Structure 1
Amino acid sequence: MTYVITPPREYFDRGAERLRERGITFESVRNVDPLDDGTIVAQQVVRGERAAVRSALEETGPTVVDYHVTDAAGATVLQLHYRPSDLTRELLTIHQRHAVVLEYPLEYTGARNRSLRVSEIGRGDALRRVIEETRAIVDVEIERLVDYEPSAQRLVADLTDRQREVLRVAVEEGYYEEPRRVTYGDVAARLECSAGTVGQHLRRIEARLMPTLVDGDRPRSEIDRERDRPPTGPSR
Structure 2
Amino acid sequence: MRYAKCVIIPDDEGLHPLDRRIADHPDVTRELLYNVNLLADETIVALYRFSGKRTVLESILSESPMVNQYQLSSADGEHHAYIHLEAHDRLVGLLSMLRQFEFIYDTPLEFTRRGGLRVTMIGDVKSFQAAVPDVPDGIRLKLLKTGRYEPNTDRLFSQLTARQQEILRTAVDMGYYDVPRAVTHDDIGEELGCTGGTVGGHLRKIESTILTQIVP
What band does the TM-score fall into relative to the shorter chain? 0.5 to 0.7
Structure number with larger C-alpha Rg? 1
In the superposition, relative to structure 1, how do residues 145 and 37 fare at CA in structure 2: closer, same or farther (>3 Å)? same
The equivalent of 1:86 in structure 2 is 89
In the superposition, relative to structure 1, how do residues 22 and 58 fare at CA in structure 2: closer, same or farther (>3 Å)? farther
Whether contact under 8 Å (1:108, 1:117) holds in the other structure is yes
Whether contact under 8 Å (2:30, 2:50) holds in the other structure is yes
Match of 2:12 among 9, 30, 34: 9
The equivalent of 1:211 in structure 2 is none
The equivalent of 1:127 in structure 2 is 128
1:73: Cα distance to partner?
7.4
Match status 1:100 vs 2:103: yes
Aligned residues: 156
The equivalent of 1:30 in structure 2 is 34
Whether contact under 8 Å (1:13, 1:84) holds in the other structure is no
TM score, norm. by length of structure 1: 0.59
**Aligned-partner residue type, residue 42 of structure 2:** G
Displaced runs of 4 or more, over 4 A: 171-174
Counterparts of 1:56-67 in structure 2 under 5 Å?
Answer: 56-61=60-65, 63-67=66-70
1:175: Cα distance to partner?
1.9
Q: Which runs of 5+ in 2 are unaligned?
A: 152-207
SS of match in other structure, 1:146: strand
**Aligned-partner residue type, residue 25 of structure 2:** E
The equivalent of 2:53 in structure 1 is 49
In the superposition, relative to structure 1, how do residues 77 and 126 fare at CA in structure 2: closer, same or farther (>3 Å)? same
Whether contact under 8 Å (2:90, 2:136) holds in the other structure is no
**Aligned-partner residue type, residue 120 of structure 2:** S
The two structures, once aligned, show a CA RMSD in angstroms of 2.5
Whether contact under 8 Å (2:70, 2:82) holds in the other structure is yes
1:134: Cα distance to partner?
2.1
C-alpha separation in 1, matches of 2:211 and 2:74? 16
Identity of aligned residues (%): 25
Whether contact under 8 Å (1:73, 1:173) holds in the other structure is no
1:10: Cα distance to partner?
4.7
C-alpha separation in 2, matches of 1:35 and 1:172? 30
Q: Deviations over 1:119-141 (max 9, x none)?
A: 11101111212233227541221
**Aligned-partner residue type, residue 213 of structure 2:** Y
Counterparts of 1:51-200 in structure 2 under 5 Å?
Answer: 51-61=55-65, 63-71=66-74, 75-111=78-114, 114-134=115-135, 137-147=138-148, 174-177=211-214
TM score, norm. by length of structure 2: 0.64
C-alpha separation in 1, matches of 2:44 and 2:136? 23
Whether contact under 8 Å (1:22, 1:56) holds in the other structure is no
C-alpha separation in 2, matches of 1:130 and 1:58? 36
SS of match in other structure, 2:42: coil
**Whose helix fraction is larger, Structure 1's or Structure 2's?**
1
Match of 2:43 among 29, 39, 48: 39
Q: Which runs of 5+ in 1 are unaligned?
A: 153-170, 179-205, 207-236
